[in-house]
Structure 1
Amino acid sequence: MKRSVYLLNGSALLLAGCMGYQLGGSRPEGINTVAMGPVINRTGEPAMELQITHAMRDRIQLDGRMKLANEPDNADALIEIKLVKFSLRPIAYDESLKTTPRIYRMTITGTAALRNTKTGKVISESDAYGEATFNFENDLTTSKRDAMPTAAAELAKFMLDDLIEYWN
């Protein structure tokens, strides 16, 4: 009898500590739908905008805290992204040819803002980067193209978390 009373009291205390906890995190108040603005590329690397747009749209859908709208007129908020830096650094070299890079690290840096579509006010902002490492295969262009989705997905994850995660 005593054991069941202790177990019941312990369970009640444990559950009381979880009050107010929400699975999946929070989001800005009143923001249920979001649209993507055009991604602005201010780097010297061409054609990254499409990869970043796809990665952010995928991340919003995977996250599930907000619905994705196709048009800003149908959304509570708009995500605006600017890509500000692209870097490619060799991090490992071929053993026989010490000057030939074998592995590279790609980094994409960007800023993002979550803007209320009704008021135009910026709700939150993010400065983030995404990285990918890749082996140099036959040519650098193909190797970069193959690594871009990984870096874009990481950038989208960090940006979205920054934009919608609120600590109340």
Structure 2
Amino acid sequence: MLRLLVLGLVLLMSGCGYHPLGRGGSLPEGVESVHIALFTNRSLEPFLEDHLTRDVIEEFSRREGLRVVEDPTAADARLEGEILAFRAEALSYDPNDRIGQFRATLTIAAVLRRSDSGLVLWKGQLSWAEKYPIATDKSVQEDNEQAAIRVISRRLAENLYFRLHDHF
């Protein structure tokens, strides 16, 4: 009975198009190489574009079946993006009405275009938020915010790859 149940589950999963993230499907239009341009920063938070572009390049570079190239003319496609917004806002307060926790949110837009024709293959927006604790020491507070930004940047890079790869 157990074997029959397992066999049925395997058949069901194979018939419904199930696949692990990042493995089913491919980048649009058979793109095998991509140039990733420096993201444009439209927020007031400095250096976000450096963090995000580096993380996107690292994320795409470590995936099989895709080459990240420096020369845009040598790529099948170019990925361009912009940071639309960054905000840090109070998330919780203590009984004395002092901030206890912040939430940082980063919103980006990206577009993947064929290098030869400029045809848009994918376009979308993503957002990610991360909580971080308040600190009375200003430098510790800044470190907490920067740590949250690093997490957000890595998560957005990963989600961007999956969106492009799995056609979400």
State if a TM-score over 0.5 links the two structures.
yes
Structure 2 counterparts to residues 82-97 of structure 1, below 5 A: 82-95=82-95, 97=96
**Against the structure 1 CA distance between its residues 152 and 15, is the aligned structure 2 distance closer, same or farther, given a 3 Å change threshold?**
same
Q: Distance in 2 between matches of 1:15 and 1:158?
A: 29
Q: TM-score, normalised by structure 1?
A: 0.79
Q: Distance in 1 between matches of 2:132 and 2:38?
A: 28
Q: Specify the alignment match of 1:48 in structure 2.
A: 48
Let me know the Cα RMSD of the aligned residues: 2.8
Kindly indicate whether the alpha-carbon contact (under 8 Å) linking 1:129 and 1:154 is maintained by their aligned counterparts in 2.
Answer: no
Note the C-alpha offset of 1:16. Answer: 9.4
Q: Specify the alignment match of 1:126 in structure 2.
A: 124
Q: Specify the alignment match of 2:144 in structure 1.
A: 143
Q: Specify the alignment match of 1:74 in structure 2.
A: 74
Unpaired segments ≥5 residues, structure 2: none
Per-residue CA deviation, residues 129-149 of structure 1 (Å, 9 max, x unaligned), is 121111123224332212111
Computing the radius of gyration from Cα coordinates, the structure with the larger value is 1
Q: Distance in 1 between matches of 2:123 and 2:162?
A: 10
**Against the structure 1 CA distance between its residues 62 and 133, is the aligned structure 2 distance closer, same or farther, given a 3 Å change threshold?**
farther
Per-residue CA deviation, residues 21-43 of structure 1 (Å, 9 max, x unaligned), is 76612221320111211110011
Q: Distance in 1 between matches of 2:77 and 2:155?
A: 22
* 2:154 counterpart of 1:153: yes
Instruction: Describe the SS at the equivalent of 2:24.
Output: coil
Kindly indicate whether the alpha-carbon contact (under 8 Å) linking 1:130 and 1:153 is maintained by their aligned counterparts in 2.
Answer: no
Note the C-alpha offset of 1:62. Answer: 3.9
Instruction: Describe the SS at the equivalent of 1:38.
Output: coil
**Against the structure 1 CA distance between its residues 90 and 77, is the aligned structure 2 distance closer, same or farther, given a 3 Å change threshold?**
same
Q: TM-score, normalised by structure 2?
A: 0.79
Unpaired segments ≥5 residues, structure 1: 1-5
Alignment coverage as a number of residue pairs: 159
**Against the structure 1 CA distance between its residues 44 and 22, is the aligned structure 2 distance closer, same or farther, given a 3 Å change threshold?**
same
Kindly indicate whether the alpha-carbon contact (under 8 Å) linking 2:38 and 2:50 is maintained by their aligned counterparts in 1.
Answer: no
Percent of aligned pairs with the same amino acid: 23
